Amino acid sequence: MKVIVCDPTDPEAIAAMQEAGIEVDVRDDITLEELGEIIADYDGMVVRSRTKVREPLIDKANNLKVIIRGGVGLDSIDVAYAEAKGIDVRNTPAASSNSVAELTIGYLLALARPIVQAALSMQEGKWEKKQMKGTELAGKTLGLIGFGRIGSLVGEKAHALGMDVLFYRRSSVDVDFAEQVSLDDLLARSDYVSLHVPHTPDTHYLIDAEAIAKMKDGVYIVNCGRGGTLDEVALYEAVKQGKVAGAGLDVFEDEKEERGKRFMDLPQVICSPHMGAGTSEATARVGEEVAQIAIEYAGD
């Protein structure tokens, strides 16, 4: 089996594939144009979020058996088209879940206590102790939109901090640390709202101006899930008007040009560059799962 690794991948994973007899070509800075010229030579490909696998590339992948996405989201791959061409699409959904969940909790804490703003103020030589008054998370209500691997982990951790946890998802599930409610009920009752849904036509702008209007005045919004599920223009206006007290964003609808730039004049909004899975532990787990999938296909 011959596999091309198109994005940065844990070296131990590459070594594991090679030890299993897989021919591995590491081209983790390859352009789509270059990839299109050689993809027909490979049985498998490994991608993260950088490499977009769309129909034109898939049409050139005459021998491809599997696309392995190191990570959770599959929105960078035309999955249905690939599968229609007989190509399996696999991902590593559990590997980075805890890392994203912990970042979400970090955002909740940083919104409750203005840690980022205080640190920046100190760097400017200021001592604004009285201006940095915050609140406690304990006793507040967290509403989770989406309650899969990551959402449920966030709920467990938030409950351990003393938060009351609500969640919305389409299918019913029973847990002892959170209450399942309708979306409207969640929006009306939550002090903090956190998104954990994939970006699909059904979830596009799931949180828009109308949804924000249903929330409490002074609500906080966190999105460490997927860009495009939150209408960023509506959020920007809601923060400026004071409806939303603050927000924490790790993902954005446009991560090429806009990249959250519209929020840079709002100190109430703290942002990071889609780093939810960016821990050494998650990288190792992702690599391990990627190698396992490739070895599985090599043995078929």
- Centre a 10 Å sphere on the Cβ of residue 62 and count the other Cβ atoms it contains: 11
H helix and E strand count, the chain:
11, 12
Q: Which of 226, 232, 253, 289 is catalytic?
A: 226
Is 136 part of the annotated catalytic residue set?
Answer: no
Place of tokens 């929020």: 263
Tell how far CA 134 is from the center of its chain: 27
Q: Residue 118 corresponds to which amino acid? A: A
Q: Which of 255, 258, 281, 296 is catalytic?
A: 255
> Is residue 126 within 8 Å of residue 119, measured between CB atoms?
no
> Is residue 163 within 8 Å of residue 140, measured between CB atoms?
yes
> Which class for 272: exposed (0-12), middle (13-18), buried (19 or more C-beta within 10 A)?
middle
H-assigned helices in the chain: 11-19, 32-38, 55-60, 79-84, 97-112, 115-123, 149-160, 183-189, 209-213, 232-241, 280-298
Nearest to 2 by CA among 44, 37, 30, 39: 44
Q: Which of 196, 199, 274, 285 is catalytic?
A: 274
Is 23 part of the annotated catalytic residue set?
Answer: no
> Which class for 144: exposed (0-12), middle (13-18), buried (19 or more C-beta within 10 A)?
buried
> Is residue 101 within 8 Å of residue 78, measured between CB atoms?
no
CA distances from 50 to 47, 92, 117 (A): 7, 16, 31
> Is residue 145 within 8 Å of residue 193, measured between CB atoms?
yes
d(CA 24, CA 15): 9
Is 169 part of the annotated catalytic residue set?
Answer: no
Residues belonging to the active site: 226, 255, 274
